Amino acid sequence: MRAVLIVCDGLGDRPTRALNGLTPLQAARAETLSRLAEHGECGIIDVIAPGQPPGSDTAHLALFGYDPFRVYPGRGAFEALGVGIELSAGDVAFRCNFATVNDDWVIVDRRAGRINSEEARALAEALNDIRIDKVDGVQAIFYHSSEHRGALVLRGEGLSRMVSDVDAHKAGVKAHMPRPLEDTIEARRTAVALQEFVEKAHKILKDHPINRQRVEKGLPPANALLPRGAGTLPRIEPITKLWGIRAAAIAGGGLYKGVAKAVGFDLINVPGATGTVNTNLGGKVEAAIKALGEYDFVFLHIKATDSVSHDKNPHRKVEVIEWISRELTPLVKTVLDKGYYIALTGDHTTPCEVGDHTGDPVPLVIAGPGVRRDGIGKFDEISCAKGGIGRIRGIDLMRILMNYLGKVPLFGE
């Protein structure tokens, strides 16, 4: 028995004035999604807890069956795993921006004029030789990912993710020097090592030939790194062991690949899967169909619904939903023909009128053999709320799916 879980990021929405009071899902003509609802049982999910706006990382932990309040290890490690960095237990990873600061460390541009990948990669190479002298046994490794983005890994004994961000998250103010966020030796050691790295990086970057050229051309120099979001690997039982399944993930965005990798999914790379509205969704769907031949459980992530919601573009969200529905048609057909299971939901609500994540529940449909059809014929927030699954928490979803796969042991005699 096999199952596929499709998560459309930021899928949920609210009644929208520009759509005559409908949600984008209600306004969309999405035949395949309606067909799924007809064949399945519907409900709504409070992904973290009722009213709690989820980040995408905590939301996915919950949908994969983990309690994010207990196991969330900060965002940094997910980002690092997502760009292909191998992390070990004890590593502390940070997301980083190349940025422009003035002589007083006031942030002039958080993205150094969105420096291109080629220049940023050359700058990253110059940071390879930085040694941490003030803390024994700690090594700093910096990786460039794309454009102005990168990841920093501090490796060594006795480090902690409880350190504050260097990034002030806005321009015009001073970058923060890292502080320990708890009174432990580990947090203090990490803050000292991070500060030393950031200061040494600044010294190297400000005199780098690439930055001299940028200044000559009138471009902001990428003269500082602004680490943020310290994180470690989560201390959890991998999803494969927990349920006794082979599990594969298909995603474009680095964060989603990172969360999936951290909980034990195999990553399947699809050319052209970019984590944007221009992604190769057809290729991802094809890869999901193929993966169902080898894996018990396949996770497919689609980012575009969230991107257009942050852009506050409800008409575009309707189009994106209709496009996703069309592209999913062969996958839904395969799953229903073969008698596999399929679940489709979002990781949170991102109302187009708000442009950010909110704590409203998201719609859910599950279809497959033996699922109790509940007579709901349309997949949207309002229709699904009347469905047989009712209202559940994100953490419940995996057990419901694994029950259909016969993977949940009996509790009691």
Residues 21-60 that bind Zn ion (CB under 5 A): 56
Is the Cβ of residue 39 or residue 301 nearer to Zn ion in the bound state?
301
In angstroms, rounded to a whole number, what is the distance separating the alpha carbons of residues 309 and 314? 7
Residues 53-112 that bind Zn ion (CB under 5 A): 56
Which of 325, 277, 273, 283 shows the shortest CA–CA distance to 304?
A: 277
Is the Cβ of residue 232 or residue 309 nearer to Zn ion in the bound state?
309
| Distance of closest approach, residue 392 Cβ to Zn ion, in angstroms | 18
Helices 254-262 and 56-63 pack at an angle, to 10 degrees, of: 40
**According to the binding rule CB under 5 A, does residue 349 interact with Zn ion?**
no
Is the Cβ of residue 109 or residue 306 nearer to Zn ion in the bound state?
306
Residues 394-413 that bind Zn ion (CB under 5 A): none
In angstroms, rounded to a whole number, what is the distance separating the alpha carbons of residues 196 and 133? 8
Q: Check: CB of residue 225 under 8 Å from CB of residue 178.
A: no
Binding-site size, Zn ion (CB under 5 A): 5
Say how far residue 197 (Cα) sits from the centre of its chain.
27
Q: Which stretch binds Zn ion (CB under 5 A): 86-94, 115-123, 344-352, 399-407?
A: 344-352
Q: Which stretch binds Zn ion (CB under 5 A): 233-241, 289-297, 303-311, 318-326?
A: 303-311
Degrees to nearest 5, angle at CA 263 with 260 and 267: 35
Is the Cβ of residue 296 or residue 306 nearer to Zn ion in the bound state?
306
Among 91, 109, 167, 306, binds Zn ion (CB under 5 A): 306
Give the 3-state secondary structure of residue 47: coil
Q: Which stretch binds Zn ion (CB under 5 A): 130-138, 255-263, 273-281, 340-348?
A: 340-348
Give the amino acid at 246.
R
Positive/negative CA dihedral, 156, 162, 164, 169:
positive
The phi, psi pair for 383, rounded to 5°, reads -65, -45
Q: Which stretch binds Zn ion (CB under 5 A): 3-11, 104-112, 131-139, 327-335?
A: 3-11
Token representation of residue 33: 């999604």
Is the Cβ of residue 46 or residue 374 nearer to Zn ion in the bound state?
46
107 to 146: interface string for Zn ion, x by CB under 5 A: ----------------------------------------
| N-to-C CA span, the chain | 25
Mark residue 375 as left, alpha or beta (left: phi above 0; alpha: psi -120 to 50; beta: remaining): left
In angstroms, rounded to a whole number, what is the distance separating the alpha carbons of residues 40 and 42? 6
**According to the binding rule CB under 5 A, does residue 9 interact with Zn ion?**
yes
Is the Cβ of residue 325 or residue 349 nearer to Zn ion in the bound state?
349
Closest-by-Cβ residue to Zn ion is 56
Who's near 356: CB < 8 A, 6+ residues apart? Answer: 53, 310, 350
Among 347, 360, 374, 380, binds Zn ion (CB under 5 A): 347
Q: Check: CB of residue 249 under 8 Å from CB of residue 258.
A: no
Say how far residue 125 (Cα) sits from the centre of its chain.
27
Say how far residue 32 (Cα) sits from the centre of its chain.
25
Give the 3-state secondary structure of residue 145: coil
| Distance of closest approach, residue 11 Cβ to Zn ion, in angstroms | 9
Is the Cβ of residue 42 or residue 47 nearer to Zn ion in the bound state?
47
Q: Which stretch binds Zn ion (CB under 5 A): 158-166, 249-257, 345-353, 376-384?
A: 345-353
Is the Cβ of residue 220 or residue 253 nearer to Zn ion in the bound state?
253
Is the Cβ of residue 55 or residue 330 nearer to Zn ion in the bound state?
55
The phi, psi pair for 399, rounded to 5°, reads -65, -40
Helices 117-126 and 209-216 pack at an angle, to 10 degrees, of: 140
Q: Which stretch binds Zn ion (CB under 5 A): 22-30, 239-247, 301-309, 333-341?
A: 301-309
Q: Which stretch binds Zn ion (CB under 5 A): 105-113, 246-254, 299-307, 320-328?
A: 299-307
| Distance of closest approach, residue 214 Cβ to Zn ion, in angstroms | 31
| Distance of closest approach, residue 23 Cβ to Zn ion, in angstroms | 17
DSSP strands (E only) in 27-128:
40-46, 92-101, 107-109
Q: Which stretch binds Zn ion (CB under 5 A): 9-17, 65-73, 95-103, 379-387?
A: 9-17
| Distance of closest approach, residue 302 Cβ to Zn ion, in angstroms | 10
Is the Cβ of residue 77 or residue 107 nearer to Zn ion in the bound state?
77
Give the 3-state secondary structure of residue 41: strand
Residues that bind Zn ion (CB under 5 A): 9-10, 56, 306, 347
